[in-house]
Amino acid sequence: MLTTEALNTLINAMTLEEKIGMLHGNGIFETRGVKRLNIPPLKMSDGPMGVRKEFPAASWVAKDLSDDYVTYFLSNTALAATWNEDHAYTFGQSLGSETRSRGKDVILAPGINIIRSPLCGRNFEYMSEDPYLISRMAKPIIKGIQENDVAACLKHYAANNQETDRLSINVEVDERSLEELYLPAFKACLTEEKSLTLMAAYNKLRGDYCCESNFLLQDVLRKRWAYDGVVISDWGACHSTEASALAGLDVEMAVTTDFDDYYFGDPLYEQVKNQIIPMKVIDEKIFRLLSLMNQLNMLDGQRQSGVRNTIEHQQSTLKAAEESIVLLHNDGQILPLDSKQIRSIAVIGENGNRSHADGGGSAEIKALYEHTPLAGLSMYLGGNVKLTYIKGYTSDPNANKDTYFNLREEACRLASNHDLILFVGGLNHDHDTEGKDRTTIELPYEQDLLIQSLKAVNNNIISVNISGSAVDLSTVAKHSKALIQTWYNGMEGGRALAHVLFGQAVPSGKLPFTFGQTLEDYAAHSIGEFPGDNTVHYKDCIFVGYRHFDTHDVTPLYPFGHGLSYSAFKYHDMSVTTIDTSVIVEITVENTGQYEAKEVVQLYVGDQESSEPRPTKELKDFMKINLKPQSTQKLVFTLKKSDFSFYSEKYKKWVMEPGNFILSIGSSSKDIRQSKTILLDVFKEVE
Ligand code: BGC
């Protein structure tokens, strides 16, 4: 590692031209180095589900190499659904190692924007509607990535919650919602687990592009959070030279190949030369970049080389995928299936045999392989159960009513002579994608009609929904004996699904966002504030996701935190004690079922009386535990004053008002098993 003095010596030795070369793209995914001073270029790649395929420096036509295949990891929503930080860490470790093995320095991941609407095209790249769950799951990813001499690039800062007009939309959001919802996960990932780089988003926040927002980049990031890492623009998100340079953007990246013409190219050079922008500002940016390179061992010393496509990466992806699968309902315990009792399964639905890795926009993956559900089932069953696959619907854009009718007829014929129908539907990356939002939460391609027709000929239906966002599952749910939610679940997703269906893995995933019954169930839509028109007003304030459903008595189809098991858990003996500045909550959880299984025990806090509106409850802690049948475990949670506080715009800080609080422990945000009300008035003023 070089000393600070050595870094400053390097800066002093650099010409202005050399400095400018480091501050903007000189390739679509890299900056320029300074050869004579042994400063390498900074090489980046997307993110977040694996390392993206290789592009030439100045073209978006991929190179068509044979050695840029990689592990296709779980999407972020899938990872969040595990509620298991160990998986997040292992994922980060593996992703970091693959990034290094592909010769990159920065991986453009993780994406942590709040899921505000089920229609946002990039929800699959994000994690949750809840900032606490995001923070808990994203921090270990960053830690894992950065243990490989690779920097994470946290994205997209901030309030980038839709794709419609993403390059220009202005987000008007109140201070409290920023503090309580849209900023906390960024804060946690930059201060508690320091992501070495941060991507400034495309959108405007309160009238200013994020790349030139003094509020975001100066007041919050540098001053309040004391962040000294590198801020990189989203690709084409920088719209100015002086304003962005002075606000604190360090590196401008864009999608065009006229690199010298970038705002941080020749125009920046000119403005520094003409003393419009002080050299000091440039030197601070270079210092941050050199410090980053220093921390990644790019300037001297031994650098890790990383590995890719290892069995270990594939195996850990399988394990995480198994844990991400959410069992939504299971009538009469029809699941798990017993392969000895079934002679034939009709797998119906395009997603039953469709791969998803190579889609979605910048998150696309050139996967070494991808096991579809059909492949996973074939591998699991080993030829002992007759498996027949048929599309039943198609995503072909040229399909018309007749096409759907014929596909349905064909599917019904098949369904009538099989023991069981496994309907595998949902979305794909034509919908869950960068650059556009969906316009409805209904399932596309007449899937609701398909399942209704299937039920008429064979009511033994188990359904699997694959999507990165909430969709309207009410019809599918009504016509299925069991319903499973799975995701863009990585290259082992199909095997993971088979393992869960047949009980080789017991489901323990929990929904990281709410599944409503209609679009209007969601706050942003009920008030008509999505996607806005030039400006989008977040009048839903802090009432996003379950905070809205709970508080405004909207009954979801499946609530936040929901997910069933093949086993059963009993919660008992909840107790609460207050010790100085902490509230200690204890509970005993017992596995009363037949299977060794995992449960996510969720702790929510609700303020009973407050001077400001507050959600009925908010997630403040959770633990994922593994219990053998008939065994118990006592859990101890410790809550701090901040867990009872809200952000007061009046006092410009987090405040806790004394009074009654309800502490609720449950298996989902709706399935509360035990709760206690406590009066908090004697908290010592220590935080
Ligand atoms: C996306 C980023 C991505 C970048 C580089 C942008 O369009 O918003 O998430 O990292 O492209 O591909």
Annotation marks residue 283 as catalytic: no
Alpha-carbon span 181 to 129, nearest angstrom: 9
Q: How far is the CA of 107 from the centre of ligand 1 (A)?
A: 11
Residue closest via CA to ligand 1's atom 6 equals: 235
Measure 293 CA to ligand 1 centroid, in angstroms. Answer: 22
Query: Best of 51, 54, 362 to mutate for ligand 1, by most ligand atoms within 8 A of CB?
Result: 362
- Structure confidence at residue 685 (pLDDT): 43
**What's the CA-to-centroid distance between 568 and ligand 1, angstroms?**
43
Distance between Cα 109 and ligand 1 center (Å): 10
Distance 111 CA to ligand 1 centre (A): 10
Helices (H), 523-654: 523-526, 546-551
Structure tokens at 46: 């997307």
125 Cα nearest atom in ligand 1: 9
Ligand 1 atom closest to the CA of 46, numbered from 1: 10
Would you state the pLDDT for residue 174? 98
- Find out whether 155 and 108 touch, Cβ atoms under 8 Å: yes
Whole-number pLDDT of residue 687: 37
**Whole-angstrom Cα distance, residue 668 to residue 545?**
13
Distance 123 CA to ligand 1 centre (A): 14
Residue nearest to atom 12 of ligand 1 (CA): 362
List 114's β-bridge partners, or say none: none
CA 19 to ligand 1 centroid distance, Å = 24
Q: Which of 105, 130, 149, 234 is catalytic?
A: 234
> How many A from CA of 4 to the centre of ligand 1?
32
169, 179, 472, 538, 542 from 529: Cα distances, Å: 13, 20, 20, 7, 14
pLDDT for position 683: 56
Q: Give, for ligand 1, the residue of 195, 202, 256, 434 to mutate: max count of ligand atoms closer than 8 Å to Cβ.
A: 434
Binding-site residues, ligand 1, Cβ < 6 A: 46-47, 108, 155, 234-235, 362
Question: Ligand 1, residues 42, 46, 122: which to mutate, most atoms within 8 A of Cβ?
Answer: 46
362 CA to centre of ligand 1 in angstroms: 6
Give the contacts of 498 (CB within 8 A, at least 6 positions apart): 373, 376, 377, 379, 380, 381, 504
3-state secondary structure of 220: helix
- 352 within 8 A of 424, measured Cβ to Cβ: yes
The number of beta carbons lying within 10 Å of the beta carbon of residue 19 is 20
Nearest partner of 111 among 184, 167, 45, 47, judged by Cα: 47
Atom of ligand 1 nearest to the CA of 166: 8
CA angle 596, 602, 607 (to 5 degrees): 165
Cα–chain center distance at 188: 15
Q: What pLDDT sits at residue 684?
A: 44
- Please choose from 168, 234, 255, 436 the residue to mutate so as to test ligand 1's pocket, defined by most ligand atoms within 8 A of CB: 234
Q: How far is the CA of 234 from the centre of ligand 1 (A)?
A: 6
How confident is the chain (687 residues) per 10-residue block, as mean pLDDT? 97 98 98 98 97 98 98 98 98 98 98 98 98 98 98 98 98 98 98 98 98 98 98 98 98 98 98 98 98 97 96 98 99 97 98 98 98 98 97 97 97 97 98 98 98 98 98 98 98 98 98 98 98 98 98 98 98 95 96 98 97 98 98 98 96 95 98 97 51
Phi-psi region of 424 (alpha: psi -120 to 50; beta: other; left: phi over 0): beta
Question: What is residue 682's predicted lDDT score, i.e. its pLDDT?
Answer: 57
Distance 675 CA to ligand 1 centre (A): 44
| Structure-token match 């007041």, residue found | 219
**Strands (DSSP E) found in 506-545:** 535-537
Which value, to the nearest 10 degrees, does the dihedral of the CA atoms of residues 72, 77, 83, 84 take? 20
Residue 156 alpha carbon, nearest atom of ligand 1 = 9
The conformation of residue 189, written as its DSSP 8-state character, comes to I
**Assign residue 205 a region: left if phi > 0, alpha if psi is -120 to 50, beta otherwise?**
beta
pTM: 0.98
Question: Which residue minimizes the CA distance to atom 2 of ligand 1?
Answer: 234
Out of 122, 235, 238, mutate this one to test ligand 1's pocket (max ligand atoms within 8 Å of CB): namely 235
Q: Which protein residue's CA is at the shortest distance from atom 5 of ligand 1?
A: 235
